[in-house]
DNA sequence: CAGGATCCTATACGATACTG
DNA sequence: CAGTATCGTATAGGATCCTG
């Protein structure tokens, strides 16, 4: 079978690494809900996200936002208000996640029907 | 802003739940590599997958395969050999993941370029 | 060969209190 | 308001050995 050749195996390894790169960024309990919140409202402040994302603590939110920023998915802007507020928005690169999130949404709905039946 | 209405918030919550349903199934270190291995080779035995997926232990593989089967993504077949071998393949439902995996692959490549630069 | 049992570690995550 | 610090728990996952 052709897919047993070394070249095919190599291709497969590359693919797997790429998928894992994506999952490293997106997995965990909070990343996608956070991105989803910022994306949905376009611009969103720390405390707003804290409210949008059900059950998250400020410690986690702070930590996750930092990682997302490191990954260049979101942009952090300190607003000149009293007291200080901070605004988050998706970068161009962050917005490229929309397709994936849409796919995951669709699949999640189908999967729930398949497994739980509603 | 329209998106602040209650209905929109409700829609958003539904979406987030759906995405999380997907992530519950796919996240973790091994699920996608395992699916990817089975998908790539169409039919694959336990020990083959153990070899395909770099670094996984038999304990983990066994555990993950069970969960994937519970989620109706793979089918387990005991072959009548001596000693017994077991074959795994994707179900129809499991095959619907291909789009997502392809998306994640593509995005992973782009993301790596963006962050690491190669 | 395909797992199960056991033990262990590391990390994710939660709760609460505090600060510029 | 937007975090940080500290502490505690739960779960994911690793290593090794065992069995039908």
Asked which of B10-14, B21-25, B100-104 is least confident by mean pLDDT, the reply is: B10-14
Mutual angle of helices A31-41 and A98-115, in 10-degree steps: 120
Report the residue of A9, A13, A23, A73 to disrupt the B interface, i.e. the one with the largest count of B CBs within 10 Å.
A23
Q: Is residue B8 scored above 60 in pLDDT?
A: yes
Mean pLDDT of all residues belonging to chain B: 94
Q: Is residue A118 scored above 80 in pLDDT?
A: no
CA–CA distance, A91 with A38 (Å, rounded to integer): 11
Four-residue CA torsion sign, B97, B101, B107, B108: positive
Report the residue of A10, A103, A113 to disrupt the B interface, i.e. the one with the largest count of B CBs within 10 Å.
A103
Arithmetic mean of pLDDT, A86-95: 98
What DSSP string describes B79-103?
E--SS-EEEEEE-HHHHTTHHHHHH
pLDDT tens for each residue of A27-63: 999 999 999 999 999 999 999 999 999 999 999 999 9
Residue B2's pLDDT is what? 58
How many domains is chain B partitioned into structurally?
A: 1
- Of the CA atoms within 13 Å of residue B43, those in its CB half-sphere come to 8
Q: Per-residue confidence at B18, pLDDT binned at 50, 70, 90?
A: very high
Four-residue CA torsion sign, B61, B72, A3, A1: positive
Show the domain range for B59.
Answer: 2-116
Here the CATH number for the domain that contains residue B107 is 1.10.10.10
Find residues whose C-beta atom lies within 7 angstroms of strand C: A 28-30, 55-60, 83-84; B 45-48, 50, 58-59, 62-63, 65-66, 76, 83-86
Cβ A103 vs Cβ B103: under 8 Å? yes
Cβ B60 vs Cβ B66: under 8 Å? no
**How far are the Cα atoms of A23, A94, B80, B83, B98 from residue A100, in angstroms, in the given order?**
11, 11, 41, 43, 12
CA–CA distance, B2 with A112 (Å, rounded to integer): 29
Residue B9's pLDDT is what? 83
User: What DSSP character marks residue A27?
Assistant: -
pTM of the shown model:
0.92
């Amino acid at each position: 079978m052709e897919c047993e050749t070394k070249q095919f195996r190599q291709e497969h390894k590359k693919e797997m690494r790429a998928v894992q790169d994506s999952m490293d960024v997106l997995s965990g309990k909070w990343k996608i809900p956070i991105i989803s919140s910022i994306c949905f409202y376009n611009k969103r402040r720390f405390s707003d996200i804290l409210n949008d994302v059900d059950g998250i603590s400020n410690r986690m939110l702070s930590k996750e936002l930092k990682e997302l920023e490191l990954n260049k998915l979101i942009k952090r802007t300190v607003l000149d208000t009293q007291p200080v507020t901070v605004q988050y928005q998706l970068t161009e690169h962050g917005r490229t996640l929309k397709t994936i999130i849409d796919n995951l949404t669709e699949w999640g709905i189908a999967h729930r029907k398949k497994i739980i039946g509603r």
